[in-house]
Structure 1
Amino acid sequence: MSSPQQGDVGASGPPASPRLSASWRRSEVYGAPHDAVSPAFTGSVDNESLFFDCGRQVLGGLHESLAGEPVSIMLTNADGVVLVRFCAERALVAALDDTYLAPGFAFSEREAGTNGLGLALADRAPSLVRGAEHYCTSLRSYTCAAVPVTDPVNGRLLGSVNLTTWSDKSDALLLPLTQAAAGHTAALMLARGRGAEPRPAPRGEVFRVYTPPGEDAAPNLSEAWVAAARELEAALAAGASVGVVGEAGVGKAALLTEALRRVRGQHRILHVRPPDARGADAWLALWTPELGKPDTSVIAGRVDALPSWAADELAMIVAQRERGSLAVTALDAGAVPAALSRLVDLVVELAPLRHRRQDVLPLTIHFARRMTGRAVHFTPAAAQALNSYDWPGNAEQLRRVVRDAANRASVVDVRHLAPEVLCSTGRVLSRIETVERDEIVRCLAEPGMTVTRAAERLGISRATAYRRVAHYGIRIPD
């Protein structure tokens, strides 16, 4: 089978779909080529991640089920770099190679203009781009369906699954197949990961952030926190728009809330979570009335997770308002959408909790009292365990651990803490490994317990017990 001729695919004007039209406009701004793509070549791909391993397994199975069909199946990372490609039809493989749609090449909108995988990554939504809807004419021989894949636990964008076929072929099942493959990849990652609960799908919720005075006031934290808060307060007092960036769960919204409280007194503060693609219209509709209220401050959380078109619309809404300033959070400054980045005057980076260890115990006491309504005490051993842990999930993880421990006892000891706090493996554990680790930790955390006695209780040899303790990096403070 030969590729269709490019002259047969249709007109070169922008498509009527709002999403596609917005993508074409972005492609023009990026300076994407109209005639022939010349994407960046990375030279290598990350083939050691859980995402790559699970994606390759799922797509390999799909490829086998589509034997004889002229379909190319690809996995990309979050930057649009093709990680792996499955395709059995020689003509399609040769055509894809001619347009560099191959492992190691980046195919985001910046490099290749409007295309399926680039649009899916930009808008974080399932996308289907047919023939003449491609910005670059050299891609108009194809129809491409792509679906973004996010981490099932923390929601971070990992990449996309892309199915590509000839533009003259039926595309009725292309997008459903792609959606199924993306869903199976995320599910397999969850099954092979820590056994954590999947992150709930975002709904664009708006909720009030309120810190009452008195006993529930913010704790006294480190100089790093105080310095960041002061910098934000000075900018907000001058009417500037600000942003806070940092790892997930580090306390970005809490820092902004504290700064806003100090500058704007009893303002009502709303923290707006990013929506999924289907709820973006309703999410945007919330902004116009809220931004116009003189006694309301709004924090746009995780703007790096916004679909590109929604970020552009939000920037237009903010630019047209008469009062107030913009406050945003993101994982890092470079991930803030360009349209919003131009409106932000100051970006402050909040260090992760492992670099602010002096904040761990004050936050521990604060979280425990706020969630139980009573004083909760922590033994020296428990405090040492909490202070020694690296907290990869930052303050959000600490909040969860403290909540569970405080619900078990008014005086929290090591045995009341989550097993994860007492271990450091440096890698993701399987579900079976997690169960084994937790059982060993629970046993060792009992008062007066030794490794020898724990081995007897667990029904394993003393040598095996010591090996498993070392394997999981288990440490029980005295």
Structure 2
Amino acid sequence: MENRQLTPDRPRLRASWQRSERYGVSLDEVQPVFTGSVDTGSLLYECGYEVLSGLQATLANEPVSLMITDSAGLVLARLCNDNSINRSLDRVHLAPGFYFAERNAGTNGLGLALADRAPSLVRAEEHYCTGLRGYTCAAVPVLDPLTGELAGSVNLTTWSNSSSDLLLALAQAAAGNTTALMLARSAGRRMRPTPRGEVFHVYADRFQQADGGSCVSRLWSEAVAEAHTAFAAGRVVAVVGEPGSGKTALASMAHRQARPRERVLSARHPAPDDVDAWLTLWTPELEKDNTCVIVSGVDTLPAWAAGELAKLFTSVRCDSGRPQPFVLTAEDFGALPGPLGSLVDTVVEAPALRHRPADILPLARHFAERERGRPISFTAAASRALTEYHWPENVKQLKRVVRTAAARADVVDRRHLPAELFSSGAHRLSRLQALERDEIVRCLTEPGATVVRAAAELGMSRATIYRKMAQYEIKVPGR
């Protein structure tokens, strides 16, 4: 770190400087990391923009820039009436479309708030990059009010010679108001999952343990057979389907049947700012013989990355001289980037779990055994609850539910299953509503439970219990 020493009462800043140094951030100027698209359709953007617009009106004559960022430090919006500070912030790339996390810009207010998930104030000389020392930044993380996950941040930036006494308090108030507004508007809204940066996994000797091997339904078998025929003919396959439906497992299973001697690598889509590293990490595998690469979630890739992949797939040859086999997965073929879509010969659909109920219990037993290392049984009541649920998140959700239940008991009963399986309501619930629903389900799924006993335990009348069951669309199998 530079000769300048940080005061002992700011250990978070010292740690941030050390991280910035490890990231290789320039001490002199911010190196811009830009994305061509900004998601303005998220609940965070909608609520944050409304809150900051109201705050901007009260600060009309103040040189304060108000910003919303996502959880990766991507600036989604910037509101400010002062042209001089706007021009200055443009020069250091603190603008919509640019990433300003620690690894991009070093120690700064919003980067520190996201890294530590805590309110942060970074004054002039406390910035790692000298190009930012003309500003003081206050930022506060915004958490998703339903999941508790980091959604993004609210950032307020002003000149370093301006008073900063109230800056952090204003940022905290704006972040709190944004969270409250998100909670109020979240009913009935499905939150969009953020991309996860992941490296590839190797499927080879352990393939027989893959999730798809437990599926027995006709729809699944037909999809695997269709992909197998295409692989055997040397065609390029795209497997499409809902998130969590098992697209990669289907492709792995079919390819293993067609070419049992080849190993299979699954390269999952990266976070937006990790695309370069992601490509560098696994694309050398394309030159190796007896290797098939499954690239998952290609519909989320930036256009330039899709173009690079298309060039690699069409130009790289194995040692044997033949083209490297590969598979693409996406939610829908129409969403495939043009350069990659044009390479596809066959499209195979992975059927959603709700359309193949015969697979639910075999998969559940498979996931439970993997969790505990030995077979786990399910009661008839638990089996009915699992098979009658509609599984909106498909196999991914089933895996999560079963692993949690199997960790609680040797014999899984319906009381070990989460309340979400007994409520078919389509609307998002507030935390209080979810707690109430969960308690009602818990009482109704206890051994020997009746509505009368549940009402007595909860201090409600039977009429209230029935009304709440209708409100939350609670359906307990066998009741």
User: Deviation of residue 51 (structure 1)?
Assistant: 6.3
Aligned to 2:203: 209
* 61 and 268 in structure 1: CA distance in 2 versus 1, 3 angstrom threshold: farther
Note if contact 1:267-1:295 (Cα within 8 Å) is conserved in structure 2.
yes
1:306 pairs with 2:297: no
Aligned equivalent of 1:286, options 278, 281, 289: 281
* 307 and 395 in structure 1: CA distance in 2 versus 1, 3 angstrom threshold: same
Note if contact 1:191-1:431 (Cα within 8 Å) is conserved in structure 2.
no
Note if contact 2:272-2:302 (Cα within 8 Å) is conserved in structure 1.
yes
Q: Which moved more, 1:209-218 or 1:426-435?
A: 209-218
Note if contact 1:152-1:198 (Cα within 8 Å) is conserved in structure 2.
no
Q: Which moved more, 1:368-377 or 1:325-334?
A: 368-377
Amino acid in structure 1 at the alignment position of 2:246: G
Aligned equivalent of 1:229, options 202, 224, 229: 224
Which runs of structure 2 are paired with 1:320-331 in the superposition (5 Å)?
320-322=315-317, 323-331=323-331
* 69 and 254 in structure 1: CA distance in 2 versus 1, 3 angstrom threshold: farther
Amino acid in structure 2 at the alignment position of 1:337: P
Amino acid in structure 1 at the alignment position of 2:292: S
Cα deviation 1:428-456 (Å, max 9, x = unaligned): 11222111111111111101111221121
User: Deviation of residue 201 (structure 1)?
Assistant: 6.0
Report percent identity of matched pairs.
48
Amino acid in structure 2 at the alignment position of 1:423: S
1:317 pairs with 2:324: no
* 187 and 239 in structure 1: CA distance in 2 versus 1, 3 angstrom threshold: farther
Note if contact 1:19-1:309 (Cα within 8 Å) is conserved in structure 2.
no
Amino acid in structure 2 at the alignment position of 1:391: W
User: Deviation of residue 86 (structure 1)?
Assistant: 9.2
* 88 and 202 in structure 1: CA distance in 2 versus 1, 3 angstrom threshold: same
Distance in 2 between residues matched to 1:464 and 1:455, nearest whole Å: 8
Amino acid in structure 2 at the alignment position of 1:356: R
Q: What's the secondary structure of 1:299's corresponding residue?
A: strand
Aligned equivalent of 1:240, options 225, 235, 238: 235
Note if contact 1:249-1:396 (Cα within 8 Å) is conserved in structure 2.
yes
Note if contact 1:204-1:280 (Cα within 8 Å) is conserved in structure 2.
no
Distance in 1 between residues matched to 2:200 and 2:146, nearest whole Å: 21
Note if contact 2:212-2:249 (Cα within 8 Å) is conserved in structure 1.
no
* 250 and 215 in structure 1: CA distance in 2 versus 1, 3 angstrom threshold: closer
Which runs of structure 2 are paired with 1:266-285 in the superposition (5 Å)?
266-285=261-280
* 61 and 214 in structure 1: CA distance in 2 versus 1, 3 angstrom threshold: closer
Cα deviation 1:68-112 (Å, max 9, x = unaligned): 58999999xxxxxxxx999999xxxxxxxxxxxxxxxxxxxxxxx
Cα deviation 1:397-428 (Å, max 9, x = unaligned): 00111111112222211111111111111111
Q: What's the secondary structure of 1:286's corresponding residue?
A: helix
User: Deviation of residue 204 (structure 1)?
Assistant: 3.6
User: Deviation of residue 359 (structure 1)?
Assistant: 1.8
- Number of positions where the alignment pairs a residue of Structure 1 with one of Structure 2: 364
Aligned to 1:172: none
Which runs of structure 2 are paired with 1:178-189 in the superposition (5 Å)?
189=182
Distance in 2 between residues matched to 1:416 and 1:297, nearest whole Å: 40
* 330 and 213 in structure 1: CA distance in 2 versus 1, 3 angstrom threshold: closer
Structure 2: gaps of 5 or more residues: 1-30, 69-76, 83-94, 99-103, 105-141, 155-173, 318-322
Distance in 1 between residues matched to 2:345 and 2:175, nearest whole Å: 37
Aligned to 1:399: 399
Note if contact 2:200-2:282 (Cα within 8 Å) is conserved in structure 1.
no
Q: What's the secondary structure of 1:455's corresponding residue?
A: helix
Aligned to 1:111: none
Note if contact 1:245-1:333 (Cα within 8 Å) is conserved in structure 2.
yes
* 201 and 247 in structure 1: CA distance in 2 versus 1, 3 angstrom threshold: closer
User: Deviation of residue 237 (structure 1)?
Assistant: 1.5
Q: So what's the TM-score if we normalise by structure 2?
A: 0.64
Note if contact 1:245-1:350 (Cα within 8 Å) is conserved in structure 2.
yes
Note if contact 2:243-2:394 (Cα within 8 Å) is conserved in structure 1.
yes
Distance in 1 between residues matched to 2:399 and 2:268, nearest whole Å: 19
Distance in 2 between residues matched to 1:452 and 1:240, nearest whole Å: 62
User: Deviation of residue 67 (structure 1)?
Assistant: 3.1
Q: What's the secondary structure of 2:214's corresponding residue?
A: coil
Which runs of structure 2 are paired with 1:364-443 in the superposition (5 Å)?
364-443=364-443
Aligned to 2:339: 339
User: Deviation of residue 373 (structure 1)?
Assistant: 2.1
Note if contact 2:369-2:376 (Cα within 8 Å) is conserved in structure 1.
yes
Cα deviation 1:26-68 (Å, max 9, x = unaligned): 9xxxxxxxxxxxxxxxxxxx99x95686355445445445535
Distance in 1 between residues matched to 2:312 and 2:32, nearest whole Å: 18
Note if contact 1:216-1:370 (Cα within 8 Å) is conserved in structure 2.
no
Amino acid in structure 2 at the alignment position of 1:280: V
Distance in 1 between residues matched to 2:433 and 2:145, nearest whole Å: 19
Aligned to 2:125: none
1:262 pairs with 2:242: no
Distance in 2 between residues matched to 1:152 and 1:324, nearest whole Å: 46
User: Deviation of residue 463 (structure 1)?
Assistant: 2.2
User: Deviation of residue 236 (structure 1)?
Assistant: 1.3
Q: What's the secondary structure of 1:275's corresponding residue?
A: coil
Q: What's the secondary structure of 1:256's corresponding residue?
A: helix
Q: What's the secondary structure of 1:218's corresponding residue?
A: helix
* 216 and 307 in structure 1: CA distance in 2 versus 1, 3 angstrom threshold: closer
User: Deviation of residue 396 (structure 1)?
Assistant: 0.5
Distance in 1 between residues matched to 2:338 and 2:191, nearest whole Å: 33
Q: So what's the TM-score if we normalise by structure 1?
A: 0.64
Cα deviation 1:318-355 (Å, max 9, x = unaligned): 12111222211111112111111111222222222112
Note if contact 1:249-1:393 (Cα within 8 Å) is conserved in structure 2.
yes
Q: What's the secondary structure of 2:288's corresponding residue?
A: coil
Aligned to 1:78: none
Note if contact 1:203-1:276 (Cα within 8 Å) is conserved in structure 2.
yes
* 85 and 447 in structure 1: CA distance in 2 versus 1, 3 angstrom threshold: same
Q: What's the secondary structure of 1:244's corresponding residue?
A: strand
Q: What's the secondary structure of 2:348's corresponding residue?
A: strand
Distance in 1 between residues matched to 2:411 and 2:395, nearest whole Å: 21
Aligned to 1:464: 464
Aligned to 2:71: none
Aligned to 2:244: 249
* 374 and 204 in structure 1: CA distance in 2 versus 1, 3 angstrom threshold: closer
Aligned to 2:60: 67
